[in-house]
Amino acid sequence: MTDTLIKVDLTKSPTENEMIHNRWHPDIPMACWVKPGDDFILETFDWTGGFIKNNDSADDVRDIDLTTVHYLSGPVGVKGAEPGDLLVVDLLDIGAKPDSLWGFNGFFSKKNGGGFLTDHFPQAQKSIWDFHGMFTSSRHVPGVQFAGLIHPGLIGCLPDKKMLDLWNERETAFIATDPDRVPALACPPFAATAHMGKMTGEAKAKAAAEGARTVPPREHGGNCDIKDLSRGSKIYFPVYVDGAGLSVGDLHFSQGDGEITFCGAIEMAGWVHMKVSLIKGGMAKYGIKNPIFKPSPITPHYNDYIIFEGISVDEHGQQHYLDVHVAYRQACLNAIEYLKKFGYSGAQAHSILGTAPVQGHISGVVDIPNACATLWLPTQIFDFDINPSAAGPVKYLDGSIDMPLSPDL
Amino acid sequence: MTDTLIKVDLTKSPTENEMIHNRWHPDIPMACWVKPGDDFILETFDWTGGFIKNNDSADDVRDIDLTTVHYLSGPVGVKGAEPGDLLVVDLLDIGAKPDSLWGFNGFFSKKNGGGFLTDHFPQAQKSIWDFHGMFTSSRHVPGVQFAGLIHPGLIGCLPDKKMLDLWNERETAFIATDPDRVPALACPPFAATAHMGKMTGEAKAKAAAEGARTVPPREHGGNCDIKDLSRGSKIYFPVYVDGAGLSVGDLHFSQGDGEITFCGAIEMAGWVHMKVSLIKGGMAKYGIKNPIFKPSPITPHYNDYIIFEGISVDEHGQQHYLDVHVAYRQACLNAIEYLKKFGYSGAQAHSILGTAPVQGHISGVVDIPNACATLWLPTQIFDFDINPSAAGPVKYLDGSIDMPLSPDL
Amino acid sequence: MTDTLIKVDLTKSPTENEMIHNRWHPDIPMACWVKPGDDFILETFDWTGGFIKNNDSADDVRDIDLTTVHYLSGPVGVKGAEPGDLLVVDLLDIGAKPDSLWGFNGFFSKKNGGGFLTDHFPQAQKSIWDFHGMFTSSRHVPGVQFAGLIHPGLIGCLPDKKMLDLWNERETAFIATDPDRVPALACPPFAATAHMGKMTGEAKAKAAAEGARTVPPREHGGNCDIKDLSRGSKIYFPVYVDGAGLSVGDLHFSQGDGEITFCGAIEMAGWVHMKVSLIKGGMAKYGIKNPIFKPSPITPHYNDYIIFEGISVDEHGQQHYLDVHVAYRQACLNAIEYLKKFGYSGAQAHSILGTAPVQGHISGVVDIPNACATLWLPTQIFDFDINPSAAGPVKYLDGSIDMPLSPDL
Amino acid sequence: MTDTLIKVDLTKSPTENEMIHNRWHPDIPMACWVKPGDDFILETFDWTGGFIKNNDSADDVRDIDLTTVHYLSGPVGVKGAEPGDLLVVDLLDIGAKPDSLWGFNGFFSKKNGGGFLTDHFPQAQKSIWDFHGMFTSSRHVPGVQFAGLIHPGLIGCLPDKKMLDLWNERETAFIATDPDRVPALACPPFAATAHMGKMTGEAKAKAAAEGARTVPPREHGGNCDIKDLSRGSKIYFPVYVDGAGLSVGDLHFSQGDGEITFCGAIEMAGWVHMKVSLIKGGMAKYGIKNPIFKPSPITPHYNDYIIFEGISVDEHGQQHYLDVHVAYRQACLNAIEYLKKFGYSGAQAHSILGTAPVQGHISGVVDIPNACATLWLPTQIFDFDINPSAAGPVKYLDGSIDMPLSPDL
């Protein structure tokens, strides 16, 4: 039987667990060691460490201290791994914790985190998604259910000191270009809420002050929030330190491309069963700077879509130059307007785009001045016919159910 | 037998053909009329009207006058179509012209058009792709062949005067923010090379001076370059003028997401067999601003991929804020470096990403400050094993064959 | 431009064409020659050589002389091919003749051909299917349309004398076990209607008397009626004679597994674009007795099905031992009963199973005494919702349209 | 948290468990009751109740008493279910028991069970397959690994008395046609090893003497061994008795179409998470005689295949009339010969066809006298390139590892 090398107790704070950390730093000691060829299980908290609850209020989404995230399990040391290697990780399976068969999705208040559509949904909202075996549905978003595309939002190896310094310099300089922006441009190191695994005392204090925040994806992978890094996939990670130091967390039961709701996908506590091996010197052999991966052979295959186009003219009519971010936002807003015609509130429609396995494609990036992006909405996840017809849309929902909203205080 | 309503003669100039136009303007007369429920065939020139030749020199790519593009077939009037309707177009089939079973792909000189990777490939290059039934391969890019995902790069309905004015104002104002930029920020109206279908004399001169260029995708669809708008798909277009005025051109035998090579996909002359119908008042019924579509049930299904990640830190280490364009560029550059390890030149690798059915996904757009984009490279299109392994890459190509390059004069 | 090596004129009889034959015999002269690596086009008659017409009577289905089929184009000689080689055939593309964009499907009278469900549909019936680009629908079977899975029902190489003798002995002996059976057990050589390509005189008379009928699939492939041998697939054929002698015909626009309607799939005249190469000595190298093939990367991907089970207890309650034929018949009959609840006549339902890309799986063949077979009916080909629900089926069809029937005279 | 209504202890005999039974009889008391809309978990033994062990000897496969199988969990009563209803079962998830992460596959001796290829593999052999998350591989069959297509081999509702009598009469009469055949034609009731759930005393004795054996699939479904009845699928079962009485067992981690190895698929102990609902009067509404189902949206999608053809001329040259069983056997034998060229033993090749998600299609059933069947072997499950090439096969295996064999005593 496969060993569970890291266990988490959801009734306790993640900060009490020495095998959990919430910053990136090369000095964080390995939580445990494995050999190439080993397979093992790591349990994880949800990314907020249990702050968001299974209830019908969005107060927790509004009030969360975002300096505390993400609580990661690891780092796992891999014997023989050296800088320049590729660490090959097979995600053999991933699941929810049996005592926590639900997840949450929400939008942060614009004043506390914001998100992709924060100008349209500026206040905290939340939906709870229950897991029924391989499927999920929400009491706050009726009429939709789908199979999970279960994946870690965040996975990667420890940076070395040089990489860490690069990150901190790059992001600090960037913040300095507009330091008062709300939401902020980036998240600088913040010692007060840093949890550095087994570290204590001065060493911890020093590392906490330097430790990179876990929010952005970076060269090592990290918080990529790639929905297709799902159970069954095989990932090749750059190694920067001896032993590699693989950490994982922020598990998602499902997510749409872009994780546009930011808080987040369908966020859950769970476990990851993985196997590791090495390609010695693989970074140079294959010219690898960022991780590469091969997708899983076993994913939900919804293949009938309605596809929404967006171009890089924003919702105020402003022209942007080949801006895929703006174009994708328009495609998402177009899909939300469409879904409202069937009776969904804007928030519910937004939540579907953030949680269901929607695809976001970079469709055209050269036809000046407009980028074109497409949002692919799977039709087979709906309990009713969502296709356009000559007769026009039939309202499936009567508006009696909506997502909890917690206005800013 | 289905009627071919518009025919093109590839031995003649498109400007001699009254059923061809290369600008968007509501006054362009309908080239022909159909009824809802009709199916019919339109032949098309390649987007350059035959300027690029099937040879081994990139001089034509370097020297092309880009104010001449795109040569479109139409507009087709649909009886009963009124502003506010949705024109439903079934792309029943698409093919190359039997007397022209080849296509071209290339990169424009940075001084004449540029493109997504123009800083990395600043000079004109070209590859020729031959069609073998449903498949294509190139004498300039060995080791790769794939089934065509045949689609029109450009399709849409005529704008009304109000929409046209909006476009011209928006883009003219945008150009004014950096009028001397190379490549330009956008393409303003340009009468000298305008071909306005049947229009002549003063009416033509006036419309030519106002006609929107065909380069960018806009509210009506237009030059979206969406590879998945392929034969078999069903598109719902906003209608702005009586009769709709549907035009199509810029056919592609295949293309990767983003059409990153700009010149372009695998560009070809050909024909489109389509059927039209109407959803009366459909724009309001479904809240439609941009076209929506349903993908084809019959497309190449390569499902094994190597996926490359990119983040919005550019190739010079510069941080960008959730910039998917930058992130996708990094993913593409990462893929090019990888392919070079198997013996491809950078240009060949770039050409593969522009022509093969690669996917570009918007993977994460909320994890400040880094967007994450992924480039999905299908492995099954290669004649050799392109997967990473512990043994390292084996060079499949010896470098003896490369793509023609024509330095700027 | 690819050469069309064999042309057919649909206004003339196939027996006037020297590049057509309707028997298998090693002495049939090559109609033309190609080299390994060549690609070329062969035109074909429909399998009946034009006997079945695009009209609303099934008289032709009832009255056909089945000794005349199948009219094949070929044989094509491949230079260098020798007995024991594998002839690799890439089906680059297949299509209908532009002057014949329709096909037929029907059931033979039990007295003249019969078929899989002949006891349930003992009289001649016919449906005509029109082609709309890549799609088809029938004026005799409303409510259903689908993309074509275009393939040759019949393709293979000439037998040598030894193989031909084996076939004739085997089948003649088999007929002798029940010579008066209706329908017959097998089809013996029959000189009167044999068309032997270029052969004339005594040589022709001798070969016609010996030539194997084209009805059954045999060791060389032949009339396999495998729907997945579709355009884009790659086939490896055993070679028995110098030059291989590849012939092809009996093109189908679409077919369900089993070709249960026998007359047949959606039968059409058309053309095949193919490429040939050789694996020298491949039969021994790979232990090949029957052809093997790799499926096309570009086929219709309907992936939502209703699946019907059948076991080897027949419709009269009779037990059969692990008989997959009986089990599949039950699954088909079950599907027909189901479809009738939506308003289809039994004949229409039967026709759908014979023409649409239904799958027939051998699900269990060891659980004595019952085999289990499944019939997979794609739901996405219907214009209405065919799924079961608590509310029960809604009749979509009012019975006003049915398939032409021609009672036995 | 979902209730586990039936638990099994793998260290104990299934005959000690009152919620387990191994015969079909209407008098078997419900093991537990649920309501429509409920979801719940049932644990199951492997079909042999733990007789086959995880070791390197096939003695247990040789010596098993096949009158003891299959050990089923249930029957589960569903409140409100009545004869004529359809019981809708959603298989929400299925897995192996955490304390038993392995399965077995084997061939029975021809003298004790036999199987599809028993004349070619007449002696008992066994392979053990270990589960690594969603994947499996075997120490006895190197070079192959694949994702599980996890499904119950056996699931269905209790028959009523009339149905039970029909089965017994039908099969008893069938056995009488050749009572001494080895293997037997069918399995008659056999009281000695019957386990009738909670039944005791005379009632049990009577029911045991009448209870139908679980081996064949029948009208109610039962032992269909349909690989696509996998986790995520939705099944519609005929109801014959009040409360329906749903039982399930014989879980498979993976299986090929046909379950040609008979002992069996990859057989395992495990659990099924399911949800039930009702379509009142559904059998008549939809004309249902046997179960129907919809496949899962989440299954392994290996889509590159080598496809082997077989016709109904058997391995001795004997002609059979449209016999799909014979044709599929030839296709399987052809695949085994092919695999041997890469170094597999015949037994290993046979085991791959029985365990991996190979497809078996009924390709042609009308072309007298030959049926045509195809065996689809997925190429992506192999660690090496299994495709044919001009260079010929490369032996990947050196023959040092083979499957345990236990000759008849």
pLDDT in tens, B120-129: 999 999 999 9
Question: Which chains have at least 3 CB atom pairs separated by less than 8 Å from chain C?
Answer: A, B, D
Q: What's B73's DSSP letter? A: E
Q: Give a yes or no: residue C407 inside a domain.
A: no
ipTM of the complex: 0.97
Distance from C-alpha of C197 to C-alpha of C206, rounded to nearest angstrom? 14
Annotate D118-146 with b (16+ C-beta within 10 A) or e (fewer). Answer: bebbbbbbbbbbbbbbbbbbbebbbbbbb
Write down the pLDDT at residue B319: 97
pLDDT digits (tens, 9 = 90+) for C297-311: 999 999 999 999 999
End residue of a domain, out of B294, B319, B343: B294
Tokens of B283: 């724009």
Same domain, D290 and D311: no
Contacts of A146 in chain D (CB under 8 A): 297
pLDDT digits (tens, 9 = 90+) for A177-202: 999 998 889 999 999 999 999 999 99
Same domain, A241 and A313: no
Interfacial A residues in 69-128 facing B (CB < 8 Å): 86, 115-116
Helix (H, G, I), strand (E, B) or coil at B179: coil
- Token pair 């075996």 in the structure block, residue: A133
Write down the pLDDT at residue C182: 86
Q: What's D211's DSSP letter? A: P
**Nearest to C34, CA basis, from C14, C71, C6, C9:** C6
Q: Which residues is B147 bridged to in the sheet?
A: B135
Same domain, C143 and C285: yes
C92: nearest CB among B1, B133, B300: B133
**Record: contact A385-C380, CB cut-off 8 A:** no
pLDDT above 90 (res C346): yes
| CB contact D304 to B (< 8 Å) | yes
The parent domain of residue D340 ranges over 305-400
pLDDT digits (tens, 9 = 90+) for B356-375: 999 999 999 999 999 999 99
pLDDT bucket at C235, cuts 50 / 70 / 90? very high
Average pLDDT on B312-323 reads 97
pLDDT above 90 (res A223): yes
What DSSP string describes B90-144?
EEEEEEE-TT--EEEEEE--TTTT--TTTTTS-SEEEEEEEEETTEEEETTEEEE
C324: nearest CB among D171, D311, D362: D362
Which of D302, D304, D381, D385 to mutate: most B Cβ within 10 Å? Answer: D304
**Record: contact A93-D297, CB cut-off 8 A:** no
Write down the pLDDT at residue D222: 97
Give the torsion sign (CA, D166, D170, D171, D173).
positive
pLDDT above 90 (res C352): yes
Same domain, D181 and D263: yes
Q: Give a yes or no: residue C408 inside a domain.
A: no
Chain centroid to Cα D301, Å, comes to 21
Are A196 and A25 in contact by the 8 Å Cβ rule? The answer is: yes
pLDDT above 80 (res D144): yes
D301: nearest CB among B303, B380, B385: B303
Same domain, A202 and A222: yes
Tokens of A105: 């999705």
Tokens of C139: 């004026």
Same domain, D275 and D143: yes
pLDDT digits (tens, 9 = 90+) for D2-42: 999 999 999 999 999 999 999 999 999 999 999 999 999 99
Q: Which residues is C273 bridged to in the sheet?
A: C41, C93
Distance from C-alpha of B76 to C-alpha of A330, rounded to nearest angstrom? 28
pLDDT digits (tens, 9 = 90+) for D310-330: 999 999 999 999 999 999 999
**Nearest to D187, CA basis, from D160, D168, D163:** D168
Q: Interior CA angle at A223 toward A220 and A227, to 5°?
A: 110
**Record: contact D388-C360, CB cut-off 8 A:** no
Distance from C-alpha of C308 to C-alpha of D362, rounded to nearest angstrom? 14
Which chain C residue has its CA at the smallest distance from A383's CA?
C389
Tokens of A40: 């093992």
| CB contact A367 to C (< 8 Å) | no
**Amino acid found at C84:** G
C-alpha distance from A19 to closest chain C C-alpha (Å) = 44
Write down the pLDDT at residue A182: 86
Q: To the nearest whole percent, how much of chain B has pLDDT over 90?
A: 99
Q: What's B30's DSSP letter? A: P
pLDDT above 80 (res D1): no
| CB contact D303 to B (< 8 Å) | yes
Q: Give a yes or no: residue A300 inside a domain.
A: no
Same domain, C225 and C332: no
Which residues, including other chains, have CB under 8 Å from residue C357's CB and lie 6 or more apart?
Answer: C146, C149, C227, C254, C255, C256, C300, C302, C378, C381
pLDDT above 80 (res A36): yes
Contacts of B385 in chain D (CB under 8 A): 385
Annotate A364-394 with b (16+ C-beta within 10 A) or e (fewer). Answer: bbbbbbbbbbbbbbbebbbeeebebeeeebe
Q: Give a yes or no: residue B300 inside a domain.
A: no
**Amino acid found at B60:** D
pLDDT digits (tens, 9 = 90+) for C24-34: 999 999 999 99
D163: part of which helix (H) or strand (E)? helix D161-175
pLDDT bucket at C183, cuts 50 / 70 / 90? confident
- Based on the number of CB atoms within 10 Å of its own CB, is B240 exposed (0-12), middle (13-18) or buried (19 or more)? buried
Which position has the higher pLDDT, B330 or D182?
B330
Write down the pLDDT at residue A183: 84
Distance from C-alpha of B372 to C-alpha of B353, rounded to nearest angstrom? 18
Q: Give a yes or no: residue B299 inside a domain.
A: no
pLDDT digits (tens, 9 = 90+) for B274-293: 999 999 999 999 999 999 99
pLDDT digits (tens, 9 = 90+) for D261-274: 999 999 999 999 99
Same domain, D76 and D193: yes
Which chain A residue has its CA at the smallest distance from C384's CA?
A385
pLDDT bucket at B203, cuts 50 / 70 / 90? very high
Write down the pLDDT at residue B182: 86
| CB contact A310 to B (< 8 Å) | yes
What DSSP string describes C208-276?
HHHPBPSSSEETTEES---TTS-TT-EEEEE--STTEEEEEEEEES---TB-TTSEEEEE--EEEEEEE
pLDDT digits (tens, 9 = 90+) for A225-253: 999 999 999 999 999 999 999 999 999 99
**Record: contact B321-A174, CB cut-off 8 A:** yes
Helix (H, G, I), strand (E, B) or coil at A120: coil
Write down the pLDDT at residue B183: 84
Which of A368, A370, A375 to mutate: most B Cβ within 10 Å? Answer: A368
Which residues, including other chains, have CB under 8 Å from residue B175's CB and lie 6 or more apart?
Answer: B184, B185, B186, B188
Q: Give a yes or no: residue D406 inside a domain.
A: no
Contacts of D304 in chain B (CB under 8 A): 304, 380
What DSSP string describes D322-344?
S-HHHHHHHHHHHHHHHHHTTT-
> Mean pLDDT across chain A, nearest whole number?
97
Q: Which residues is A29 bridged to in the sheet?
A: none
C-alpha distance from A41 to closest chain B C-alpha (Å) = 24
pLDDT above 80 (res B294): yes
Tokens of B276: 């039209």
pLDDT digits (tens, 9 = 90+) for D181-219: 988 899 999 999 999 999 999 999 999 999 999 999 999
pLDDT above 80 (res B385): yes
Report the number of distinct structural domains present in chain A: 2
Question: Which chains have at least 3 CB atom pairs separated by less than 8 Å from chain B?
Answer: A, C, D
Give the relative orientation of helices B324-340 and B346-355 as an angle to the nearest 10 degrees: 120
Tokens of D285: 């509404």
**Amino acid found at B54:** N
pTM metric for this prediction = 0.97
> Mean pLDDT across chain D, nearest whole number?
97
Same domain, A118 and A168: yes
A300: nearest CB among D93, D273, D298: D298
Q: What's D398's DSSP letter? A: -
Q: Which domain CATH number covers A397?
A: 3.10.28
- Token pair 């005379």 in the structure block, residue: D202
Q: To the nearest whole percent, how much of chain A has pLDDT over 90?
A: 99
Which of D119, D319, D345 to mutate: most C Cβ within 10 Å? Answer: D319
Distance from C-alpha of B319 to C-alpha of B365, rounded to nearest angstrom? 14
Tokens of C237: 């054929």
Which chain B residue has its CA at the smallest distance from A332's CA?
B290
Q: Give a yes or no: residue A156 inside a domain.
A: yes
Distance from C-alpha of D285 to C-alpha of D280, rounded to nearest angstrom? 9
Q: Which domain CATH number covers A90?
A: 2.60.120.580
First and final CA of chain A: distance in angstroms? 50
C-alpha distance from B92 to closest chain C C-alpha (Å) = 5
Q: Which residues is A14 bridged to in the sheet?
A: none
Whether the ω angle into residue B98 lies within 30 degrees of 0, i.e. cis, is no
Write down the pLDDT at residue A405: 97
**Record: contact C226-D374, CB cut-off 8 A:** yes
pLDDT above 90 (res B60): yes
Which chain A residue has its CA at the smallest distance from D303's CA?
A297
| CB contact D370 to C (< 8 Å) | yes
D217: part of which helix (H) or strand (E)? strand D217-218
Same domain, B266 and B350: no
| CB contact B346 to A (< 8 Å) | no
Tokens of C46: 């429909």
pLDDT digits (tens, 9 = 90+) for C248-285: 999 999 999 999 999 999 999 999 999 999 999 999 99
How many residues are listed for chain B in this entry? Answer: 409
- Token pair 């053909």 in the structure block, residue: B17
Q: What is the Cα Rg of chain C in Å?
A: 21
**Record: contact A224-B363, CB cut-off 8 A:** yes
Same domain, B265 and B385: no
Other Cβ atoms within 10 Å of C9 Cβ, number: 13
**Amino acid found at B265:** A
End residue of a domain, out of C262, C294, C326: C294
Are A148 and D134 in contact by the 8 Å Cβ rule? The answer is: no
Are C195 and C20 in contact by the 8 Å Cβ rule? The answer is: yes
> Mean pLDDT across chain C, nearest whole number?
97
Q: What's A112's DSSP letter? A: T
End residue of a domain, out of A294, A323, A357: A294
- Token pair 């060993």 in the structure block, residue: A3
Chain centroid to Cα C390, Å, comes to 39
pLDDT above 80 (res B265): yes
C384: part of which helix (H) or strand (E)? none
pLDDT digits (tens, 9 = 90+) for D50-82: 999 999 999 999 999 999 999 999 999 999 999
Write down the pLDDT at residue B1: 77
**Residue B340 CA: distances (Å) to CA of A287, B407, D91, D98:** 9, 22, 47, 45
| CB contact D231 to A (< 8 Å) | yes
Distance from C-alpha of C288 to C-alpha of C274, rounded to nearest angstrom? 22
Chain centroid to Cα D47, Å, comes to 9
pLDDT bucket at A29, cuts 50 / 70 / 90? very high
Q: Give a yes or no: residue B199 inside a domain.
A: yes
Whether the ω angle into residue D14 lies within 30 degrees of 0, i.e. cis, is no
Same domain, D334 and D280: no
A180: part of which helix (H) or strand (E)? none
